[in-house]
């Protein structure tokens, strides 16, 4: 059976002191988890977190990666640079990047491609807004977002991780019900199966107000292979509880 993946997305939170406190508190209690664990930290802290996590079971992740290979792209960070810090995963297409930075499906697909070609696993985020859900367009939206990545990455698509993050559930305290989440995950799984004979091994994470209380029922769904966790990943006890739930 494939191991679940619990990934924290710290977003634009933290400081040298706070990161050290948080990671030391997590590592002190973590032991040998039954699932895989990663933290996506702000790029300014990659070197610090790489050092703090050295020799541990927690993998380092980036929150974004450039669609460009390198050169005159002020402010961008390339996949090759991330690889220098032993980054294993890079989130691409988070709804906050799509919404506030105008990232298109095509840009997200290119970012996934750049990550894969540097040996970094992209965590591809898809998800509908509240208006799209209410208009009955959820399946169409997530399938369109994922199709761009499948199209650009061909057979490599079996190497990605997908995170379903309904935009209306992010940071709002409103979680998709386990049934709602499973229903979309099943749609995504079917789409991946049509594209790759190895689709069963692709991890499908749920993200959006996942916490220590609701994690168990979400992670019990057949097509939910882990979580991408924002707010609750900033609190060591909550993150540890979610990890313990993902056995």
How far is the C-alpha of 8 from the C-alpha of 33, rounded, in Å?
15
Binding mask 72-101 for ligand 13P (x = CB under 6 A): ----------------------x-------
Q: Which of 96, 128, 159, 165 is catalytic?
A: 165
165 as an active site residue: the answer is yes
Options 231, 239, 243, 245; binder of ligand 13P; rule CB under 6 A:
231
DSSP run (H or E) holding 226:
strand 226-229
Stretch that binds ligand 13P, among 23-31, 105-113, 182-190, 225-233 (CB under 6 A): 225-233
- 3-state secondary structure string, 135-195? CCCHHHHHHHHHHHHHHHHHHHHHHCEEEECCHHHCCCCCCCCHHHHHHHHHHHHHHHHHH
- Collect all residues with Cβ–Cβ distance below 8 Å to 105 and sequence separation of at least 6: 93, 144, 145, 147, 148, 149
Span 29-68, contacts to ligand 13P by CB under 6 A? none
- Minimum distance from CB of 232 to ligand 13P (Å)? 6
Options 229, 242, 243, 244; binder of ligand 13P; rule CB under 6 A:
229
Query: Are 181 and 205 spatial neighbours (Cβ–Cβ below 8 Å)?
Result: no
- Applying CB under 6 A, does 166 fall inside the site for ligand 13P? no
Structure-token pair, residue 117: 């070609």
Binding mask 176-215 for ligand 13P (x = CB under 6 A): -------------------------------xxxx-----
155 as an active site residue: the answer is no
Chain length of the chain = 247
**Catalytic residue IDs:** 94, 165
């Amino acid at each position: 059976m494939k191991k679940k993946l619990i990934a924290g997305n710290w977003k634009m939170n933290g400081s040298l002191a706070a990161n050290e406190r948080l990671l030391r508190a997590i590592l002190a209690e973590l032991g040998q988890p039954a699932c895989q664990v990663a933290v996506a930290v702000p790029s300014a802290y990659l070197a610090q977190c790489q050092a703090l996590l050295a020799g541990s079971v927690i993998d380092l992740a980036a929150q974004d990666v450039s669609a460009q290979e390198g050169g005159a792209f002020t402010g961008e960070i390339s996949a090759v640079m991330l690889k220098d810090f032993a980054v294993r995963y890079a989130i691409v297409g988070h709804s906050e990047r799509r919404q506030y930075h105008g990232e298109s499906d095509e840009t997200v697909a290119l970012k996934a491609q750049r990550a894969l070609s540097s040996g970094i696993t992209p965590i591809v985020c898809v998800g509908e807004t509240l208006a799209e859900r209410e208009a009955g367009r959820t399946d169409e939206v997530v399938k369109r977002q994922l199709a761009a990545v499948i199209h650009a990455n061909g057979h490599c698509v079996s190497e990605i991780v997908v995170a379903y993050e309904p935009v209306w559930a992010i940071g709002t305290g409103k979680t998709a019900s386990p049934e709602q989440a499973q229903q979309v995950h099943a749609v995504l799984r079917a789409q991946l199966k049509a594209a790759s004979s190895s689709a069963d091994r692709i991890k499908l994470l749920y993200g959006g107000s996942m916490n220590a209380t609701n994690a168990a029922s979400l992670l019990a769904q057949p097509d939910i292979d882990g979580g991408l966790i924002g707010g609750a990943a900033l609190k060591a006890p909550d993150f540890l509880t979610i990890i313990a739930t993902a056995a």
